[in-house]
Structures are given as C-alpha cells and as structure tokens.
Structure 1
Amino acid sequence: MMELPVHFGSTREHLAFQVHLTWRAARKALLSEMERGEEHVALGAYSIPMLIGLNPGITPMQLASALSLDASKVALFLRDLASKGLVERTRSASDGRVVELRLTPAGEDFAREASKASEALEAPFEGILSPGEKETLITLLEKLRDGIA
C-alpha cells in the first residue's frame, strides 16, 4: 500500500511549528548518537559548564539569559555542579552582591570532555547543509531567538 503524504495546511508556514518539528527530529538524532557513547549524558549537561569555561566570572543570571532558562533551573544545575566539585561560586570583588562562576580544575576537565562530546553530537547534521547554509540558519535562529526573548 502506498503511503499518502501528510498535509500540514497553513501550519507548514508557522515558524514555531517548524522549529518544534526540527527540534523533535534533532533530539531523536542526538539521543541516538548519545546512546552510542560510553555513558549517557543529558543534553543540558553540556552547555552550562562549557559556557562557564568560556566566560569565567559569568553570573548565574547571565547564564540563564544566554541559555533562555529560568534562573531557578540554572540555580539547581549549579548546585549540582558545585556539589560535584566542578564549579565554584565567588563574590565579585567590585560588588559583593554579585556571584561569579568559575570552573574548578575538575570542571575544566569536564568542560573539555563535554566539548568533545558536543562536537560528536553534531555528526547527524553533517552534510545536510552546506557551510553557508549552516551559517545562514544559525544567524536566522539567533535573530528569531533575540526577537522573542
């Protein structure tokens, strides 16, 4: 029996719908790729330590804003990272009310490994878009994210 194409009607032109479908497909590919690795790591486990490593002294609020996460979720994640000895929180020298984040030496090792794993997770996407198309897509997604943030 021949399968008929699925029609999406006007929802095909809805950006939120397209982003949602793309995320579902990407998540499926990423989870499949992660299952091939030595250990299962949650998707969110990569970004926070990597960003702290790239931005020593970043604040929890800056992290939340950069990742479009609720501050409470970032706080929970940071508490977990700190309890594992990966992140240290210090008070700003210029403003004692501000908390700055830095990776510990163990956190730097973790961030390096997370960065390598993150690169491996790009494998399902290789070859689908040309380098120019990939850059255009990233630019457009950043523009959309900035416009709705």
Structure 2
Amino acid sequence: MRLPGASACRPGSLSLSPRLLCVITITMAIRKPDHSPAAVDHGALKQSLGYLVHLADLANMQGFARAFAGTGLTAARYTALELIGSNPGIKPADLAAAMAVERSNLVALVRFLSDKGWVQAGAGPNRREKSLELTPAGRNALAGLRERLARHERELAARLSAEDRRQLEALLARIVGA
C-alpha cells in the first residue's frame, strides 16, 4: 500500500472522524505485513473497513508473536489463560463460547496450559461438568504475561493519540457487538 497523501485521508462513508481514518490509513500503510510488496496498489481495498481491520489484525498478531516469543503462547492460549484467570471456576463450554471456538478445539489449549502447570480442572457445581481455574503458578505467570501484553499494546497503538485509541476501541467494540 502506498502512503496516502492528505487527499486520501477522507472519511468517505465510514463513521470515523477524518483524523482517525487518516491515522488508521497511514498506520496500516506503515505497518503493512512483511510479505506485502511496497509497490502493490491496494486500490479500493484502502477504503475497505474489513480489509483495514484484517491488516490491523496482522500487525497485531505479528507484534504479539514478537512480544510473547519464547513463552510457547499463541494469542488463543493467552486469551484462554486470561479468561480463566478472570473467571475462576469457568466451565469449558463457557470458555469456548467466550472465545468463539468449538469446545473440541479448546481441549488442546487447556491441555497446553495444564501441562505448563498454570491451569487445573476441578469438579463443577453439579459434578458432571468440570470447572477451570488458575494454579498459583498460573496466577504468577499471568502477572508477568500481562506486562508483555501491555508493552505489545503500547507498541501497537504508538501512532495513535490517547483519544484516537479510545475512539478506535469504542468503534471496534461496536462492530463486534461488545
């Protein structure tokens, strides 16, 4: 994607402020995925909200991988750990629903966290269902991992003002229905 000139930073039909749209457009141009040749003109995709969100997600995932290198954690594994930590006793079915994954796909995530000694399964309230909670080692690990995530988030949002970030978070939350 070529860096846009001032004329390319127009809000068009999106309900973003002109300044925020410009910041997003420029940020996506600067933070393009490593595999995207600089000479490629992305045409109408430059105004595609879905495409910009996709590029932002790629930048996020690349930064996450760098920030969590050496931990063995993927974004999904970290998400599971964070959700279990924030919801002690959560049932696997509820965790899968919160992560928008199939329960069968959750098994490997929980197994990884259990093998690390960070998560333990216990009997749920009706004894038929399991519940998940962090171990003391898991709580300690999560505290350090939250610091990594905070550094990653600061890097990801480095080109945004505090107000731009709040506005972007609010708009993305509206898109996902949160």
Normalised to the residue count of structure 2, the TM-score between the two structures is 0.66
Which residue of 1 is the match for residue 131 of structure 2? 100
Q: Does 1:139 align with 2:170?
A: yes
Q: Which runs of 5+ in 1 are unaligned?
A: none
Distance 2:64 2:87 in 1: 26
Q: Deviations over 1:122-141 (max 9, x none)?
A: 23224311222212212222
Task: Write the letter of the residue equivalent to 2:50.
Answer: A
CA RMSD of aligned residues (A): 2.6
| Candidates 98, 105, 112, aligned match of 2:143 | 112
Q: 1:33-64: per-residue Cα shift (whole Å, max 9, x none)?
A: 445xxx35433232221221111111222222
Unaligned runs of 5+ in 2: 4-37
Tell me the distance in 1 between the aligned counterparts of 2:139 and 2:63.
Answer: 27
C-alpha distance in structure 1 between counterparts of 2:110 and 2:68, whole Å: 23
CA distance in 1, matches of 2:124, 2:150: 33
Structure 1: distance between partners of 2:71 and 2:164: 31
> How many matched pairs?
141
1:24 paired residue number: 58
TM-score (norm 1): 0.76
C-alpha change, 1:40 and 1:102, in structure 2 (3 Å) is: closer
Q: Which residue of 2 is the match for residue 124 of structure 1?
A: 155
Structure 1's 33 and 89: CA in aligned 2 closer, same or farther, altered over 3 A? Answer: closer
Equivalent residue for 1:81, pick from 90, 113, 116: 113
**Percent of aligned positions that are identical:** 27
SS of aligned partner of 1:121 = helix
Query: RCO greater where, 1 or 2, for CA within 8 Å and sep 6 or more?
Result: 1
**Residues 89-125 of structure 1: per-residue CA shift (max 9 Å, x gap):** 12222x2333211111111111112112211222322
Give the Cα separation in 2 of the matches to 1:22 and 1:32. Answer: 15
d(CA) in 2 for partners of 1:72, 1:30? 25
Q: Determine which of 96, 99, 109 is the counterpart of 1:64.
A: 96
SS state at 1:42 partner = coil
Matched, 1:49 2:81: yes
C-alpha spacing 1:61/1:136, structure 2 compared with 1 (3 Å): farther
